[in-house]
Amino acid sequence: MRCALCLILIYGSLTCLQSQNSNWFAGARVAYQNTWILNSDDFDQGGELDYVATFKPAIGLILGYKLNSKLNLQTGISYSLQGQNYETAGNEDADYETELNYLKIPLLLSFRPKPDSKIGWIVQGGLQISLLSDAKSSRENFFGIYSSVLKDAKNYYVSTGIEFVAGLGAEYQTGSHAFRFMLQADYGLSDIEKTEKKPGLRSVSSNATIALPMLSYLYAF
């Protein structure tokens, strides 16, 4: 429901702007992400809980405004599949995982030092709201070592979070069209797990992703 509402708002904004010659631009993006759930207690488990490299996709829509020739403000909406895979003492038969899917709304500032060149570097930074859409886990009691059963875990995770976002890449411009190749990372600024659901003195867990890469298409109105 939240996703549909955001898409309607973005579509309405684009419809209003389409007939105007303005500084607005819009587009779409797709990313292949290396995702992590960082927790110091989990790292200390040794062979009972080994982190496994986890890769998942993200897709989204972009809406932005050019503040001047070098700076623009960018928002939009994206759907990000995240989580963490684990294994026990290198045993592939004991693989287990946590899956967390988010709806994300960023507010980013982009800087392009050479706006008149067709190809140029671009730097981005800002914050984003992260809304939990779905959560599943096959960890024992959701935060334990191992279980083979993947269960609904949404009640054990915080529904809303704030993340820091930073990116570096290149942009190719031709007329009203632009193509971006970015390496982008985001990091959660708060605990993603509900404190009252944690076992004992479990430490803070943070989401982190690195887009390797993120590809975007933009159209200027």
**Does the pLDDT value for residue 9 go beyond 70?**
no
Q: What is the pLDDT of residue 205?
A: 98
Mean pLDDT of 42-53: 91
Q: Are 74 and 106 in contact (CB under 8 A)?
A: yes
Label residues 144-168 b or e (16+ Cβ within 10 Å = b): eebeeeeeebeebbbeebebebebe
**Does the pLDDT value for residue 21 go beyond 80?**
no
Total residues belonging to the chain? 221
Identify the H or E element spanning 41: helix 40-43
**Does the pLDDT value for residue 16 go beyond 80?**
no
Residue 93 — pLDDT band, cuts 50, 70, 90? confident
How far is C-alpha 182 from the geometric centre of its chain's CA atoms?
13
Residue 91 — pLDDT band, cuts 50, 70, 90? confident
- Per residue in 161-193, pLDDT (tens digit) is 999 999 999 999 999 999 999 999 999 999 999
- Per residue in 198-220, pLDDT (tens digit) is 998 999 999 999 999 999 999 99
Token pair for residue 180? 């971006």
Residue 19 — pLDDT band, cuts 50, 70, 90? very low
Residue 8 — pLDDT band, cuts 50, 70, 90? low
Tell me the pTM: 0.87
At residue 172, what is the residue type? Y
Q: For the chain, list the strands marked E by DSSP.
A: 24-38, 50-52, 54-66, 71-88, 91-111, 119-137, 151-152, 160-174, 177-188, 206-220
Q: Which residue has the higher pLDDT, 8 or 80?
A: 80
Q: Is the dihedral of CA 205, 206, 207, 210 positive or negative?
A: negative
Alpha helix (H) residue ranges in 60-161: none
Q: Which residue has the higher pLDDT, 93 or 61?
A: 61
Identify which of 181, 132, 176 has the alpha carbon closest to the alpha carbon of residue 152.
132
Mean pLDDT of 85-109: 93
Q: What is the pLDDT of residue 7?
A: 52
Q: What is the mean pLDDT of the chain?
A: 91
